[in-house]
Amino acid sequence: MSLEQQRYTHQYLLNNEWKDSESGDVVEIKSPDDNASVGSVPAMSQNEVDAAVESASDVQENWASKDGHVRSELLHRWAEELEKMTDEIGMSIHKEVGKTLSSAKSEVKRTAELIRHTAEEGLRTHGSFIQGDAFPGASRSTKAMVQKVPHGVVLAIAPFNYPVNLAASKIAPALITGNTVVFKPATQGAISGILMVEALVKAGLPKGVLNIVTGRGSVIGDFVVTHPKIDMITFTGGTGTGKNIAKKASMIPVVLELGGKDPAIVLEDADLDLSAKEIVGGAFSYSGQRCTAIKRVMATTAVADELTEKIKELVNNMKVGKSTEGADIIPMIDQKSADYVTSLVEDAVNKGATVVTSGEHQDNLLSPVVLDHVTEDMRVAWEEQFGPVLPIMRVENELEAIDLEKRNEYGLQASIFTKNLENAFTIADRLNVGTVQVNGKTSRGPDHFPFLGVKNSGQGVQGIGRSIDSMLRDKVLVLNL
């Protein structure tokens, strides 16, 4: 059977054994392209999830006691095995989350690089040594050795839009630092996540160091998040779910990467060809289903008409179709998400937004919509669309743009397009976001840069080095000589 025809029936991993749920219950996964069944994963019970957490907890001390280079070597082998599976995993990403095959394979390659970099960076973690006499009344003979130790069992929850990359970006830093992992893939994306773990098993994963849990959020979601033997949670996904996790997971560290409403601020002196190209790439890749997609343009009135024309031309050249056709704009992950995005567009049009580009919508396949003259009373000015829609808001000057952005409930990234770097720095200083891009689209990579959101966009910091830091805590040993 060719990879294209393959239908996947996958099992979960416990102590390196692949298992079905005892109930035989499964969750079906449907292709965003045509709603056909791609395969299924076990719908685990709470008891089965409990066994996964207990096993990860049982072996954690032993895993943490291994030499750092042993853990690093495992990650290097994992990257190698993953690369060997690029075609197979690429195909499953393509089928279950509807990415084009080439971008699905790029995700696998990017992930192998991320794991390798983590394997290296993790070797360089170290603690510190503090003399007591710096504090009045304390003596030089009191000395603190500050060690870096793992939290214990890390619950890693990945989203559908990067089912492999955003899973490994949590799992690799957790493993290199001596944590064990309970991995919960997004349901849509679970098959690819499981295949990625198959590569880790081939690389020599010791028993129990990573276990997988799959199933219905309503049955196992809160159960695993509140499990007493989970010591840290790292999650990427929607803001609502992230806030719920933060509330429920009391007294343990939680790293969250959530939604965004990233603006592109285009000033009078911007290079408009560059701005239009970056904005369209930033807004529409993977049909806008990225937390870091550009989700609103704030164009200064002096350049708004010309910029809109350039954006229109680029968008009209994009191919709309199935991911199997290698289209630029592909079906959204499901009908519910498409309906939500459509409701935002309808609201804006009813309130007077100008439709710059539009086209046929068929089920969850939406043609790219560019809306001009979007105003503050429209929902799309504030709500995250997570789909192929780009609202353009016109502002008199940068002060108006800063004011608009300050009222944004999200704070992931922002782009500023200008030739005046001094001005860019001044504006960047005033924006309450995790990252400001100057003359480039909003985006997470390169993967070793710090990556964070403020306000409703998240808490904690990721990016290889910072993710490693987030998986460790201080442990202080005081010598009283």
User: Which residue's CB is nearer to ligand G3H, number 107 or number 372?
Assistant: 107
Containing H/E element for 81? helix 68-84
By the rule CB under 6 A, 232 interacts with ligand G3H: no
User: Which residue's CB is nearer to ligand G3H, number 71 or number 444?
Assistant: 444
CB 28 within 8 A of CB 330: no
Residues that contact ligand G3H, how many (by CB under 6 A): 8
Structure tokens at 368: 């790219």
Among 444, 458, 471, 472, contact with ligand G3H (rule: CB under 6 A): 444
Euclidean distance between CA atoms 73 and 63, whole angstroms: 13
User: Which residue's CB is nearer to ligand G3H, number 365 or number 412?
Assistant: 412
* Smallest separation (angstroms) from ligand G3H to the CB of 260: 8
Instruction: Let me know how many helices (H) and strands (E) the chain has, helices first.
Output: 14, 25
Structure tokens at 29: 């996964």
User: Which residue's CB is nearer to ligand G3H, number 290 or number 310?
Assistant: 290
Query: What strand order describes the sheet that includes 37-42?
Result: 8-9, 37-42, 26-30
User: Which residue's CB is nearer to ligand G3H, number 55 or number 443?
Assistant: 443
Name the active-site residue from 81, 121, 198, 257. 257
Strand partners, 265: 298, 416
* Site for ligand G3H, residues 246 to 305, rule: CB under 6 A: 290-292
The contact pattern for ligand G3H, residues 110-149, with x = CB under 6 A and - = no contact, is: ----------------------------------------
98: left (phi over 0), alpha (psi -120 to 50) or beta: left
410-411 vs 413-417, strand pairing mode? unpaired
Among 180, 337, 418, 443, contact with ligand G3H (rule: CB under 6 A): 443
Residue with tokens 């309970």: 182
396 is catalytic: no
Give the DSSP letter string of 423-462.
Answer: HHHHHHHH--SSEEEESS-----STTS-B--EETTEES-B
* Smallest separation (angstroms) from ligand G3H to the CB of 334: 16
- What does the binding site for ligand G3H look like in residue numbers (CB under 6 A)? 161-162, 290-292, 443-445
Which residues are known catalytic residues?
257
